[in-house]
Amino acid sequence: MYPLDKLKFMEKRIPINKSLINLIGKGDYHYFSFIFLKLINEPFVLLVIDSHLDMRYSKDNFIRCDSWIYNTGLLNNLRQIFYINSSNIDNIPEIMIPVYISIDKDIIDRKYLKTNWTNGNLSPDQLFEFLSKIQSKNKIIGVDICGEPEFNIQEIRKSEVINLSITNIFQSFKLKKSA
């Protein structure tokens, strides 16, 4: 949990990856997505793939891993938020403007990856299929990935395979930097 003024301080020190695919770390740090979203200079849609809707109100000007979407909803260039979880992964939203995708790997069933939050029930292949459909129909302007497991070498290896697979999906085209 961080006050927004401390988040601004950290924002100045985070180098922005030119490929626009950012690996954030554990799901506890999903609020870093807010920093990347603030940098978008055109109308966009946020597509959140997560087992939890991180949209709690946070008082006293704080942002947390469970409130970052609420704060993101206040951004001027954001036009719409689509929340994808295990129950609606088959619904491909119709999006007409650039899309930013934020992925929390806690959407993946624990038999495939053990994250530090309650997991959804998707297989990695279901996630990959959804991402492939989204990237084939839309202009993707950024992607972030969180949901790294606790330190366990077997889980870290599984997570790395998933990260590389997601990256490969988006390598098939060039991400466009926001204007």
Could you read off the pLDDT of 2-14 as tens digits, one per residue? 555 666 656 666 6
- CATH T-level fold of 2-171: Arginase; Chain A (3.40.800)
Does 18 score more than 60 pLDDT? no
Q: Is the dihedral angle over the CA atoms 132, 150, 121, 48 positive or is it negative?
A: negative
End-to-end distance of the chain based on CA atoms, in angstroms? 30
Identify which of 51, 49, 13, 11 has the alpha carbon closest to the alpha carbon of residue 32.
Answer: 11
Does 116 score more than 70 pLDDT? yes
Does 179 score more than 60 pLDDT? no
The more confident residue out of 172 and 159 is 159
Q: Give the span between the Cα atoms of 10 and 57, in whole angstroms.
A: 22
- What is the residue extent of each domain of the chain? 2-171
Q: Tokens in use for 32?
A: 């870093």
Does 33 score more than 60 pLDDT? yes
Mean pLDDT of the chain: 82
Q: Tokens in use for 29?
A: 């740090």
Does 157 score more than 50 pLDDT? yes
CA 10 vs CA 32, 54, 77: distances in Å = 9, 21, 22
Q: Is the dihedral angle over the CA atoms 33, 90, 82, 43 positive or is it negative?
A: positive
Strands 21-25 and 62-63: unpaired
Does 129 score more than 60 pLDDT? yes
What integer is the mean pLDDT of 147-153?
87
pLDDT number for residue 67:
61
pLDDT number for residue 45:
97
pLDDT number for residue 174:
54
pLDDT number for residue 63:
64
Q: Tokens in use for 132?
A: 């492939």
What integer is the mean pLDDT of 73-86?
91
Give the three-class secondary structure for 48.
strand
